[in-house]
């Protein structure tokens, strides 16, 4: 024999149905008030988390301002390493092409576009123009840094005539 146990103290709630669509009606004010606090708490926690993350990143940047540029150099070097062999034991100087029209008179930059990266290896005396969008090397050229050609010594100045 089966017995049915009912809880006499549990409130019986009936969902109100819309008479036209026969669908449950929208939430009433008491249901909205019950959900408002948890939703605001979640939004507050997410905002505090984002603020803390930003604060931590800012402090990290203040401690080592060069880290951002070092990370960019490392990322570009890793991409170029997949295409060609790079000089060992040297950290390149990285430059970004901002206005190729100003560089068009130089043959190395003839095919350069905005956003292209230039890796300069001073010890290896190499310059590499890299297109990060197409992931292709556009140009490689030797560079001449420092050591200008020797200048012939100037002729000695004529001695002034001594006044007697």
What's the Rg (C-alpha) of the chain?
36
Alpha helices (H) in 64-116, listed in sequence order: 67-81
Handedness of CA 102, 108, 114, 119 (dihedral sign): negative
Q: Count of H helices and E strands in the chain?
A: 2, 4
Check residue 145 and report its DSSP letter: -
Q: In this predicted model, what pLDDT tens digit does every residue of 53-94 receive, in sequence order? A: 999 988 888 887 777 778 888 899 999 999 998 988 888 989
pTM (2 d.p.): 0.53
Domain contains 128: yes
Same domain, 99 and 138: yes
Nearest Cα to 94, choosing from 116, 62, 61? 116
Same domain, 43 and 85: no
Angle between helices 29-63 and 67-81 (to 10 degrees): 80
**108 lies in which domain range?**
70-142
Contacts of residue 138, defined as CB under 8 A and 6 or more positions apart, other chains included, come to: 111, 112, 116, 129, 130, 131
- Residue 69 burial by CB count (10 A; 0-12/13-18/19+): exposed, middle or buried? exposed
Question: Residue 10's Cα: distance from chain center in Å?
Answer: 57
Domain contains 3: no
Domain contains 11: no
Domain contains 149: no
Q: Which residues of the chain have pLDDT under 50?
A: 1, 164
**How many domains does the chain contain in total?**
2
Same domain, 137 and 74: yes
Same domain, 88 and 114: yes
Q: Do 112 and 134 meet the contact criterion of CB atoms below 8 Å apart? A: no
Domain contains 9: no
Q: Do 116 and 129 meet the contact criterion of CB atoms below 8 Å apart? A: yes
pLDDT for 130: 94
Same domain, 91 and 128: yes
pLDDT for 8: 57
pLDDT for 104: 83
Domain contains 59: yes
Domain contains 100: yes
Domain contains 136: yes
What's the longest Cα–Cα distance across the chain?
Answer: 147
């Amino acid at each position: 024999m089966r017995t049915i146990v009912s809880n006499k103290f549990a409130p019986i709630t009936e969902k109100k149905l819309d008479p036209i669509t026969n669908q449950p009606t929208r939430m009433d004010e008491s249901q909205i008030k019950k959900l408002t606090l948890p939703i605001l708490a979640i939004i507050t926690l997410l905002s505090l988390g984002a603020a803390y993350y930003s604060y931590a990143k800012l402090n990290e940047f203040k401690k080592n301002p060069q880290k951002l540029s070092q990370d960019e150099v490392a990322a570009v070097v890793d991409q170029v390493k997949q295409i060609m062999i790079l000089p060992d034991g040297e950290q390149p100087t990285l430059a970004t092409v901002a206005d190729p029209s100003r560089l068009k008179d130089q043959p190395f930059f003839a095919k350069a576009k905005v956003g292209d990266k230039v890796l300069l290896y001073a010890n290896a005396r190499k310059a590499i123009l890299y297109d990060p969008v197409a992931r292709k090397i556009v140009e490689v050229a030797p560079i001449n840094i420092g050591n200008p050609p020797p200048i012939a010594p100037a002729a000695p100045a004529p001695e002034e005539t001594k006044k007697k």
